[in-house]
C-alpha cells in the first residue's frame, strides 16, 4: 500500500488501532478528551474584541487578529466562523 499511496497511507499501528476499536464496538475514530489535554477557552471579552476588530476592518486576517490580541489561531478562527 505504501508504494501505491505513499505518505497518505495509514500506518500498520493505526490499522490495528481502528480494528481494535471496531471489534469493541467503538464507532468514533476521533481522539477522546484526555486528562491534561488542552481545551480551548474563549471568553466573552475575546469575542467582543474580535468582533470590534472585524467591524473596524472587514478584510483583517486571522493572523492579524491573533497577533493583535495574543490569542491562538484556532480560537480566533472559532470566534469568526462559529457564530
Question: Which residues of the chain are under the pLDDT cut of 50?
Answer: none
Q: Could you say which DSSP state residue 76 is in? A: H
Residue 82, CA distances (Å) to 19, 43, 72 in order:
34, 14, 15
- Residue 43 in any domain: the answer is yes
The number of domains in the chain is: 1
Determine, yes or no, domain membership for 34.
no
**76 lies in some domain:** yes
Q: How many CB atoms lie within 10 A of CB 79?
A: 21
**23 assigned to some structural domain:** yes
All cell numbers assigned to 29: 475514530
Determine the Cα–Cα distance for residues 7 and 54; give it in Å rounded to an integer: 39
Domain span at residue 56 reads 2-28+39-81
| pLDDT for position 83 | 64
Q: What's the whole-model pTM score?
A: 0.52
Amino acid at each position: 500500500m505504501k508504494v501505491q499511496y505513499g505518505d497518505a497511507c495509514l500506518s500498520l499501528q493505526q490499522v490495528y488501532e481502528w480494528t481494535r476499536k471496531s471489534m469493541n464496538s467503538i464507532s468514533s475514530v476521533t481522539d477522546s478528551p484526555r486528562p491534561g489535554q488542552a481545551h480551548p477557552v474563549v471568553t466573552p471579552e475575546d469575542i467582543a474584541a474580535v468582533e470590534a476588530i472585524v467591524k473596524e476592518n472587514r478584510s483583517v486576517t486571522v493572523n492579524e487578529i491573533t497577533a493583535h490580541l495574543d490569542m491562538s489561531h484556532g480560537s480566533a478562527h472559532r470566534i469568526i466562523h462559529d457564530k
